[in-house]
Amino acid sequence: MLSTLNATDVRKNWGQFNDDVIRVGPRFVKRSRDEWAALSSEQLKAAFDSFRFKAEFSREEDNSITMTLEGFDLVENAETKDEVIDLMADSVADYAEDYIAQFTLYSNSPNRKKHFPYLMNVMAQSDTEAVKALIDA
Protein backbone atom coordinates (compact mmCIF):
# COMPACT_ATOMS: atom_id res chain seq x y z
CA MET A 1 0.00 0.00 0.00
CA LEU A 2 1.26 3.49 -0.84
CA SER A 3 2.01 5.68 2.09
CA THR A 4 -0.19 8.68 2.74
CA LEU A 5 1.50 12.02 2.14
CA ASN A 6 1.32 14.93 4.53
CA ALA A 7 -0.57 17.92 3.10
CA THR A 8 2.17 20.34 4.19
CA ASP A 9 4.75 18.38 2.21
CA VAL A 10 2.41 18.25 -0.78
CA ARG A 11 1.94 22.02 -0.67
CA LYS A 12 5.73 22.61 -0.45
CA ASN A 13 6.32 20.34 -3.45
CA TRP A 14 3.17 21.05 -5.45
CA GLY A 15 4.76 20.77 -8.90
CA GLN A 16 6.46 17.47 -8.11
CA PHE A 17 3.25 16.17 -6.52
CA ASN A 18 1.28 16.89 -9.71
CA ASP A 19 3.98 15.33 -11.89
CA ASP A 20 3.95 12.21 -9.70
CA VAL A 21 0.15 11.90 -9.87
CA ILE A 22 0.16 12.13 -13.67
CA ARG A 23 3.30 10.14 -14.46
CA VAL A 24 3.55 7.65 -11.56
CA GLY A 25 0.02 7.14 -10.24
CA PRO A 26 -2.58 8.22 -7.69
CA ARG A 27 -1.46 9.78 -4.44
CA PHE A 28 -3.17 9.88 -1.07
CA VAL A 29 -2.92 12.93 1.18
CA LYS A 30 -3.76 13.54 4.83
CA ARG A 31 -4.46 16.94 6.37
CA SER A 32 -5.40 16.83 10.05
CA ARG A 33 -8.24 14.27 10.13
CA ASP A 34 -9.10 14.64 6.44
CA GLU A 35 -7.80 12.29 3.79
CA TRP A 36 -8.14 12.66 0.05
CA ALA A 37 -6.88 11.13 -3.18
CA ALA A 38 -5.46 12.78 -6.27
CA LEU A 39 -5.87 11.11 -9.66
CA SER A 40 -5.24 12.10 -13.24
CA SER A 41 -8.17 12.24 -15.64
CA GLU A 42 -7.08 8.99 -17.26
CA GLN A 43 -6.81 7.26 -13.88
CA LEU A 44 -10.28 8.54 -12.98
CA LYS A 45 -11.71 7.14 -16.23
CA ALA A 46 -10.11 3.77 -15.53
CA ALA A 47 -11.40 3.71 -11.94
CA PHE A 48 -15.03 4.28 -12.96
CA ASP A 49 -15.02 2.58 -16.38
CA SER A 50 -17.37 -0.22 -15.38
CA PHE A 51 -20.15 2.20 -14.34
CA ARG A 52 -22.24 2.38 -17.50
CA PHE A 53 -25.88 3.15 -18.20
CA LYS A 54 -28.40 0.54 -19.34
CA ALA A 55 -30.91 2.09 -21.73
CA GLU A 56 -34.53 1.04 -22.01
CA PHE A 57 -36.62 2.07 -25.02
CA SER A 58 -40.31 2.11 -25.73
CA ARG A 59 -42.22 3.06 -28.87
CA GLU A 60 -45.01 5.58 -28.23
CA GLU A 61 -48.40 5.78 -29.98
CA ASP A 62 -47.15 8.71 -32.08
CA ASN A 63 -44.23 6.46 -33.20
CA SER A 64 -41.67 8.46 -31.23
CA ILE A 65 -39.17 6.71 -28.96
CA THR A 66 -38.96 7.19 -25.20
CA MET A 67 -35.75 6.30 -23.43
CA THR A 68 -35.07 5.77 -19.73
CA LEU A 69 -31.95 4.63 -17.91
CA GLU A 70 -32.18 1.76 -15.45
CA GLY A 71 -31.84 3.10 -11.91
CA PHE A 72 -32.16 6.76 -12.89
CA ASP A 73 -35.14 9.11 -13.05
CA LEU A 74 -34.20 10.45 -16.46
CA VAL A 75 -36.60 10.27 -19.40
CA GLU A 76 -36.17 11.58 -22.95
CA ASN A 77 -38.34 11.33 -26.05
CA ALA A 78 -37.51 11.94 -29.72
CA GLU A 79 -38.41 10.85 -33.22
CA THR A 80 -35.43 8.52 -33.68
CA LYS A 81 -33.20 6.34 -31.51
CA ASP A 82 -30.13 8.44 -32.36
CA GLU A 83 -31.91 11.66 -31.39
CA VAL A 84 -33.13 10.26 -28.09
CA ILE A 85 -29.61 9.00 -27.25
CA ASP A 86 -28.23 12.49 -27.99
CA LEU A 87 -30.83 14.05 -25.68
CA MET A 88 -30.13 11.51 -22.93
CA ALA A 89 -26.37 12.08 -23.11
CA ASP A 90 -27.00 15.81 -22.59
CA SER A 91 -29.38 15.06 -19.69
CA VAL A 92 -26.88 12.74 -18.02
CA ALA A 93 -24.12 15.34 -18.37
CA ASP A 94 -26.38 18.04 -16.90
CA TYR A 95 -27.34 15.75 -14.02
CA ALA A 96 -23.67 14.95 -13.33
CA GLU A 97 -22.82 18.65 -13.13
CA ASP A 98 -25.80 19.30 -10.86
CA TYR A 99 -24.89 16.32 -8.65
CA ILE A 100 -21.33 17.61 -8.18
CA ALA A 101 -22.55 21.19 -7.58
CA GLN A 102 -24.96 19.94 -4.89
CA PHE A 103 -22.85 17.01 -3.75
CA THR A 104 -23.76 17.12 -0.06
CA LEU A 105 -27.47 16.98 -0.87
CA TYR A 106 -27.33 14.28 -3.53
CA SER A 107 -24.69 12.05 -1.93
CA ASN A 108 -26.77 11.89 1.26
CA SER A 109 -30.06 11.16 -0.53
CA PRO A 110 -30.88 7.44 -0.30
CA ASN A 111 -32.31 7.32 -3.82
CA ARG A 112 -29.34 9.15 -5.39
CA LYS A 113 -26.34 8.01 -3.36
CA LYS A 114 -25.66 5.07 -5.71
CA HIS A 115 -25.53 7.41 -8.72
CA PHE A 116 -22.13 8.80 -7.64
CA PRO A 117 -19.78 6.37 -9.46
CA TYR A 118 -21.82 6.57 -12.67
CA LEU A 119 -21.73 10.35 -12.61
CA MET A 120 -18.01 10.41 -11.84
CA ASN A 121 -17.58 8.36 -15.00
CA VAL A 122 -19.58 10.99 -16.89
CA MET A 123 -17.51 13.82 -15.40
CA ALA A 124 -14.31 12.07 -16.48
CA GLN A 125 -15.36 12.11 -20.15
CA SER A 126 -14.00 14.75 -22.50
CA ASP A 127 -17.07 15.37 -24.64
CA THR A 128 -20.68 14.42 -25.41
CA GLU A 129 -19.64 11.62 -27.77
CA ALA A 130 -17.74 9.95 -24.94
CA VAL A 131 -20.78 10.31 -22.66
CA LYS A 132 -22.98 8.74 -25.35
CA ALA A 133 -20.57 5.79 -25.44
CA LEU A 134 -21.37 5.12 -21.75
CA ILE A 135 -24.99 4.38 -22.67
CA ASP A 136 -25.52 0.73 -23.54
CA ALA A 137 -28.34 1.08 -26.03
pLDDT at position 20: 96
The pLDDT, as a whole number, for residue 2 is 62
CA atoms within 13 A on the CB side of 23: 6
Mean pLDDT over each residue of the chain, to the nearest integer: 96
CB 40, CB 56: distance < 8 Å: no
**What pLDDT score does 3 carry?**
85
What's residue 8's pLDDT?
95
* Stretch 28-53: mean pLDDT: 95
d(CA 137, CA 133): 9
Q: What percent of the chain has pLDDT over 70?
A: 99
Predicted pLDDT of residue 127? 95
pLDDT digits (tens, 9 = 90+) for 76-123: 999 999 999 999 999 999 999 999 999 999 999 999 999 999 999 999
Q: How far is CA 89 from the centre of its chain?
A: 12
The β-bridge partners of 31 are: 34
